[in-house]
Structure 1
Amino acid sequence: MTTITAASIPTSASASLEKLTAWALLAMGRCNPDIDVLEENGVATRAVQVGIIVDSTGVPRLVGRISIALSADYAENAATKLWVKAQELGTVSLPTGFTS
């Protein structure tokens, strides 16, 4: 797991949920660029996919997809927050460019 602390998250990324989501997605993509997972029928797909597209109105958009395994008991206790059940994807350190 790529561990972080609240101090690891730049103020500019914590200003909104959208910015925090973009920061986390980009960080996950940078930390895990080559990890494949088998989601169905032995078909490998990238665990983290990030890209920029331009929509039909000309607005650039950050688009991403992430596949994080959950512990097998994720549904046993509804009081447990689902993100607590997320499993390790990689074990690399957060790149320094993501902490400022």
Structure 2
Amino acid sequence: MTQSHDHSHDEPSDSDCADYLERIVYFIDNELDEADCSVVREHLDSCNPCLEKYQLQSTVKSVVARSCSETAPNDLRERVVLRLRAVQARISETD
């Protein structure tokens, strides 16, 4: 994944950006090795469109994570558990 191109003096090509945009998800999730993280950071420092997309994806991921950490109200959870048990009972009866 690591590329040896030096883009500090010229604009990245569309194909370079496409490669980095694919890696941004892994970068946000800390799933790249340090060498690849450094390469992605360098690209983001020199490519404003990719930086904007990185910031957007990072914000979306943060909002989703925050939303998923909320718990359902007790009455809703109880209704879901009752429905699941009813479905399980029907499945057991047909076996």
TM-score, normalization: structure 2? 0.24
- Give the structure, 1 or 2, with the largest relative contact order (CA under 8 Å, sep 6 or more): 1
Which protein is richer in helix relative to its size?
A: 2
Higher Rg of the two aligned structures: 2
Which protein is richer in strand relative to its size?
A: 1
